[in-house]
Amino acid sequence: MKRVYNFGAGPAMLPTEVMEKAQAEFLDYQELGASVIEISHRSKEFDDIINRSDELLKELAGIPDNYKILYVHGGAQMQFSAVPLNIINRNPAQKASFVLTGNWAVKASKEAGRYGTSMNVASSEDKNFNYIPEFDSSMLDPESSYLHIVSNNTLFGTRWHDFPDTGDVPLVADMTSEFLSRKLNINQFGVIFAGLQKNLGPAGLALVIIREDLLEHALPLTPGLLNYKVYAEQHSLANTNNTFAIYMMSLVLEWLKDQGGVEKMEHQNEAKASLIYDFIDSSDFYYGTAQANHRSIMNVTFNLAKGDLLGDFLKQAESVDLYALKGHRVVGGARASIYNAMPIAGCQALVDFMAEFERSNS
């Protein structure tokens, strides 16, 4: 069986052990004679799965008791609507503030403007989002119902190394491409949400972690299946949820625990990123596209000094099982997404290939 090193930004690679376990259980889950994708979301077996997922998330992420864990339809982009529908009414002024660090923050800001006033308080668009802009709490309107950030910017390869102090204004963080890749203080946030397809499981579902006091502010027009309070009260099972995605996430969480947890994974992720960045920085043939002090450890964006060689670089990389290295069209170049499931051996294979390609084309 062929398996490549998959550097795709998402849907991304999953741990091999998780895929093998899902494969082994697929036709006959716990000797039921039925697949996990066939059993009822009301069954005892699925109840055990979702409860175990809750337990692992609380343990791995350090989620306090005054936060609710929700499994919400539609992925991360659906939360661009769900967050303002649920929280923008927290303050009668119905204002939401945003720091623009890439396409996803821009889209979220525009969506919030459908339900209230959307204010962009800082932006790095002037340099094609290759850095995280300076933010000071004095920039934040105290009437804001929340401040929205994207903690890691998949397209541009940047991240917030330190999170902004927002005082009494809840901080909302889209952590789709880095949740559980580094330790967090959950108490810093009012809401965290993440699409599953990077570090947590298959596409099509979002994980939402929300402080309980923020469940009481939904706009009257909020649809039931976008209302976070409905999810909280019914354990995300007001209707048939994406049961297979929750099952797969529970397996990923078990794998992460077996690997030593988030703190150990963070050290591994930093080592993987440093391996690639150190090689790029030592070469005149390649250059990073994100400013060095704002670089992501999940998405390494880079280009070739001889831009006309990019096509050959990508083609030859794929021929040696280094898959999906093409950068996003708004940045160009190459991008290595090295989420939790990417082993350090994959990063070493990429660096070895980059070195050989440089030798062959210098």
Active-site residue set: 104, 174, 198
Distance CA 214, CA 254 (A): 29
104's CB contacts (< 8 A; 6+ apart) are: 76, 77, 80, 150, 153, 154, 155, 174, 176
Distance CA 256, CA 274 (A): 21
Which 3 state secondary structure label does DSSP give 236? Answer: coil
Other C-beta atoms closer than 10 Å to the C-beta of 17 total: 15
- Our measurement of the distance from residue 312's CA atom to the centroid of its chain's CA atoms, rounded to an integer in Å, reads 30
Distance CA 181, CA 265 (A): 6
**Nearest Cα to Cα of residue 297 among 315, 281, 278, 274:** 274
**Nearest Cα to Cα of residue 70 among 53, 84, 85:** 53
Q: Can you tell me which residue has the tokens 């391996």?
A: 275
**The three-state (H, E, C) secondary structure of 31-84, written as one string:** HCCCCCCCCCCCCHHHHHHHHHHHHHHHHHHCCCCCEEEEEEECHHHHHHHHHH
As beta bridge partners, residue 352 has none
